[in-house]
Amino acid sequence: MQELSHFIGGKRVAGKSGRFADVWNPATGEVQAKVPLASKDELDAAVAAAAEAQPRWGATNPQRRARVMMEFVRLINRDMEKLAEALSREHGKTLPDAKGDIQRGLEVVEFCIGAPHLLKGEFTDSAGPGIDMYSMRQPLGVVAGITPFNFPAMIPMWKMAPALACGNAFILKPSERDPSVPLMLAELLQEAGLPDGVLQVVNGDKEVVDAILDNRTVMAVGFVGSTPIAEYIYSRGCANGKRVQCFGGAKNHMIVMPDADMDQAADALVGAGYGAAGERCMAISVAVPVGDKTADALIEKLVPRIEKLKVGPYTDGNDVDYGPLVTPQAKERVLSLVQSGIDQGAELVVDGRNFNLQGYEQGFFVGPHLFDRVTTEMDIYRQEIFGPVLSQVRAGSYEDALRVAMDNEYGNGVAIFTRDGDTARDFAHRVNVGMIGVNVPIPVPLAYHTFGGWKKSGFGDLNQHGTDSFRFYTRTKTVTSRWPSGLKEGGEFYFRAMD
């Protein structure tokens, strides 16, 4: 059986703790590798090595750092097939979905090639008699990212590319469920010219997470995962004086107005609800049609589309719609929530509980489920399912539908499907959610805008990627200067107004 490693000091390094976690093949249900779980001492040693390497990297001019990002982009494109296959093998995604995961991370790296412009400060000439003022954006030092299983390429790149482009050293703690691609990305960055020790990949569990949060050298932490863990990391990291951004769970709604194109809405819901087996924080898990007539029409459109979905392993080709869930525990949790929906009175319109794939009976596959007449008190509405389950909550009016989305504790993404511009504009301005789609089901912003949710979906003042990422990974230093030629009258003992 393959034994994975950490990536420390520019090379793969075996774990020393003696503790390991299983890495599954989700399609077959077999354990295909073991990943080491680092101890606190291993994490501290990796941070110390990163702190030693960072000053030289931080002193490298932004253009040279950007060239490393440029070469990294080339190498990712070169190895796209290899990366996608490794990602699919450990996560279970289809190959097109795996390539999309990599591509969305790659676009953030491309944005970071603009670091020389993004890191420019401000300058004021003659702020006072002979006085100039200017600001500099400087790296924080050593920073860390704790990333989830569901996007093992994209989110590590969202975190580490801006951090490295800003001149920081970076500690990556990827998910122990699918750690191979983060290790491969570290090797590609090394090949692209990143100096030894500037990027360290430390695999681990809660022991390593706590070690990151408590290590005084780590100046900032970024996290993506569930809301309870996001709250934990945010509170503990802030208590230790760190800059922290945490992105948690979601319950994304799609409001369907009576004037919407029902075929377009149904196609959007199927893709957004069941793609990647529902294991993404921007999945649409709740459809909110306005009026019973709209709800009935939407169900009529959805059922045949859902029943035609092809579920299978990534090796079955590009026409597979989605693959297995990532672990047996994930499958068990989803089916438990489906049962709770039945027990609490929701109408199960499409039942995927008995799904069985010949030849892959031990895999973690879950058939598609569709619930109607779900209420906001039910567990399948209140909890993030993270599986191929779509719920329909019927709304009596536009205001009722808006209220459903606004009253939910999560605020990651939301969409509205309508032909009416006034309704769409009103919705976008009023709804208290961070990312809005108008006739777009999964409104993930492109790399030069920022990604972030509201309410219990996001903790911290700055979002991921875009210009916010450069603000998060730098701090501003402001200099007020006057040269000796401007000293005419001796010392001063008070703050004088800038005339």
What would the pLDDT profile of 51-81 be if each residue is shown by its tens digit? 999 999 999 999 999 999 999 999 999 999 9
Query: In the sheet where 123-128 sits, what is the strand order?
Result: 123-128, 131-139, 474-482
Handedness of CA 353, 357, 363, 366 (dihedral sign): negative
The catalytic site residues sit at 281
Provide the 8-state DSSP code for 315.
G
pLDDT for residue 491 is more than 70: no
**Do 434 and 462 reside in the same domain of the chain?**
no
Beta-bridge mates of residue 84: none
Structural domain contains residue 219: yes
**Do 95 and 137 reside in the same domain of the chain?**
yes
Beta strands in 412-496 (DSSP E): 413-417, 435-438, 454-455, 458-459, 474-482
Split into its structural domains, the chain has a count of 2
**Do 210 and 258 reside in the same domain of the chain?**
no
pLDDT of amino acid 127? 87
Confidence of residue 483 (pLDDT cuts 50, 70, 90): confident
**Do 35 and 149 reside in the same domain of the chain?**
yes
Encoded amino acid at 58, one letter: G
**Do 172 and 195 reside in the same domain of the chain?**
yes
Helix (H/G/I), strand (E/B), else coil: 40: helix
Structural domain contains residue 492: no
Structural domain contains residue 383: yes
Instruction: Give CA separation, 294 vs 256, 348, 446, in Å.
Output: 8, 18, 32
Nearest CA-CA partner of 146 in 225, 68, 74: 225
Structural domain contains residue 490: no
d(CA 115, CA 110): 10
d(CA 128, CA 152): 52
d(CA 63, CA 44): 31
Answer whether 366's CB lies under 8 Å from 273's CB: no
Structural domain contains residue 312: yes
Instruction: Output the six-digit token pair for 338.
Output: 């489906």
**Do 198 and 80 reside in the same domain of the chain?**
yes
Strands 347-350 and 454-455: unpaired
Answer whether 295's CB lies under 8 Å from 399's CB: no
pLDDT for residue 296 is more than 90: yes
pLDDT of amino acid 488? 56
Encoded amino acid at 477, one letter: K
Q: Which residue has the tokens 């400060």?
A: 121
CATH code, 322: 3.40.309.10
**Do 157 and 259 reside in the same domain of the chain?**
no
**Do 342 and 461 reside in the same domain of the chain?**
no
Structural domain contains residue 142: yes
**Do 80 and 208 reside in the same domain of the chain?**
yes
**Do 200 and 53 reside in the same domain of the chain?**
yes
Share of the chain above pLDDT 70, in %: 97
Answer whether 27's CB lies under 8 Å from 324's CB: yes
Helix segments in 127-249, DSSP class H: 154-165, 180-191, 206-214, 227-239
CATH code, 219: 3.40.605.10
**Do 318 and 214 reside in the same domain of the chain?**
no
Model confidence over 115-164: pLDDT tens digits? 999 999 999 998 888 899 999 999 999 999 999 999 999 999 999 999 99
Domain of residue 169 covers 2-248+457-479
d(CA 226, CA 156): 16
pLDDT of amino acid 499? 53
Strands 410-411 and 454-455: antiparallel
Model confidence over 271-294: pLDDT tens digits? 999 999 999 999 999 999 999 999
Helix (H/G/I), strand (E/B), else coil: 120: coil
Structural domain contains residue 426: yes
Backbone angles phi, psi at 253, to 5 degrees: -105, 150
**Directed axis angle between helix 180-191 and helix 80-91, to 10°?**
160
pLDDT for residue 486 is more than 60: no
Structural domain contains residue 410: yes
**Do 100 and 138 reside in the same domain of the chain?**
yes
